[in-house]
Structure 1
Amino acid sequence: MILLVEDIMKLSRLDEEVMDFAENTVDLQRICQEVVERLRDAANAAQVSIEFEGSSDGEPVNVTGIKPMLDELVFNLCENAIKYNKKNGEVKIKLSENPVRLVVADTGIGIDKEHQERIFERFYRVDKSHSKITGGTGLGLSIVKHIVKHHKASLHLESEPDKGTTIEVQFNSEKL
């Protein structure tokens, strides 16, 4: 219940564009690395491998934005990729530059075409019975959509049932 209230409050602040933090230069590569480490135990428990591929030279991949929001974006995408995966599945996070693109791909259960446009809606769940097993508030991807919008980025989804889902966030290089 507490998670639900917290997520509703986050969405409310995003809707009203009330931000507690100023925009700064944020190293998205570092955020990805930290999120992968925070989710490693959950991935292991789900018997899902998780790996991150960032800039080849190890240099920061910077975007202008609000760090806690960007952390939430990466965390929500990766957490869903783990939750809706299969035993012995994979989650791959890839970050590239020029333009800055974050791609989270999984080998999970996938999403039917008829549901793909709606998964970013508040409380929308593709499989209502699966939600009891995985938990969550049903607001994670809605929060992702609002964070993407706030950062003037674009969001693209590709998914196929039983093959997996890929979500790409492309940041507007003009903001840097």
Structure 2
Amino acid sequence: MTGGAVVLAAFGFSVGTASAAEFDPSPTCSALHPSPEQKAGTLDGFVIEHLPDGLGSPSDFEYEWEDVSFHSRVWETGPDPEGAYKVDLTVKTLRGERLTDLEAVKDFLVEYEEKEPGSWQLVPVKVGGYDGLLADNEVFYFIEPGVAAEVTIDKDRFTDEDLVDTAAGFRPAPTP
């Protein structure tokens, strides 16, 4: 295997005998082994019931900022001819004591996303029965004290309806 083929194989892509000049890095490439949680359509106790068509490969991330923990799943398409990837969709849960209501979630996200206070054009929405706010390519909503969710989408490829439908299907999993 050549060096490039080894790298591709290490990321779970099958590699044939094509030369580098014949290789077509189309956006239909995907990881061969999604995690059990990705297969089940869950993330951090939330179900993912709706996804728009044409998403790339998913990856999961966990991180914390200012005592709020994030669990996110990001779908990316790529690589393009220059080797870059583009984020199609992100769903994430936010958990932290400071998330006491929708206004507190908004205030936290203004700080986290480094928005200019008062400049963020937000529209109130209901998302699967939860109070939320919609802005351009994202929607966030309050679940209960300490828990919120956020969905962002590539508006060049997907519609407002895709965004809202995905968010409505991203909710806490029913308890048995």
The normalised TM-score by structure 2 is 0.30
Q: By percentage of residues, which structure has more strand?
A: 2
The normalised TM-score by structure 1 is 0.30
Q: Which has the higher contact order (CA 8 A, sep 6+)?
A: 1
Q: By percentage of residues, which structure has more helix?
A: 1
